[in-house]
Amino acid sequence: MSRLVTILALLALAVTQEYLPKEGPMPICDVFTKDIARSGINDFWKVDQNGWSLVFSALPIRPNVITEVTFYLVNGNGFGIGCGRLDKTNEGIDGVGLATDTGLKWNKNGPDAYSSPAIAGDKIKMTIDMRPMKYTLSFAKNNLDLGIAYGGLNLYRSDIYIYFGINQVGHRIKVIDYKVIE
């Protein structure tokens, strides 16, 4: 009986949870966009202090689908792109991603070799596969598939967000495409 109650509670949560829309401009959470300027809804650059400035999606990623986000590196390459659970009290991230300036993939255990560094003008597509038995994060650079960065991720929760960071003054990144494939 308790198993049935648990399943019903999870289904109720899934039905009431508001997720990122299926496509269009990616809603951004302004709470964490310190030291960031923007010329449009999805166009960001670091304007003053050194250190990381983080930008998060306002809503979590949908479960059981593939989410694709394409970033255009307008100026510079000092960006971190990824997804994960957020600790909104101290802006910490429990997630995985790609450092565009080094080409290293990273998680809480540290960085690993993955690709060559990106440069201004590159398009980086991040693909998050939240389908059962997949749970992968992969990237493509200028339409060249870089393969799975992380597989078997614990991304089945309902609070996984897209995020990116800017770590250099004057570096600029634009979210040019966002879509969900069911």
Positive or negative torsion for Cα 20, 164, 69, 162: negative
% of the chain exceeding 90 in pLDDT = 45
Q: Does 74 score more than 90 pLDDT?
A: yes
Tell me the three state secondary structure of residue 90: coil
Q: Does 32 score more than 80 pLDDT?
A: no
Q: Are the C-beta atoms of 53 and 171 separated by less than 8 Å?
A: no
Averaged pLDDT score across all residues of the chain: 84
For domain 2-181, the CATH class is mainly beta
Q: Which amino acid is at 57?
A: S
pLDDT of residue 53: 86
Residues 117-143 as b or e (16 or more Cβ within 10 Å = b): ebeeeebbbbbbbbeeeebbbbbbbee
pLDDT of residue 17: 74
Average pLDDT over residues 147-169: 82
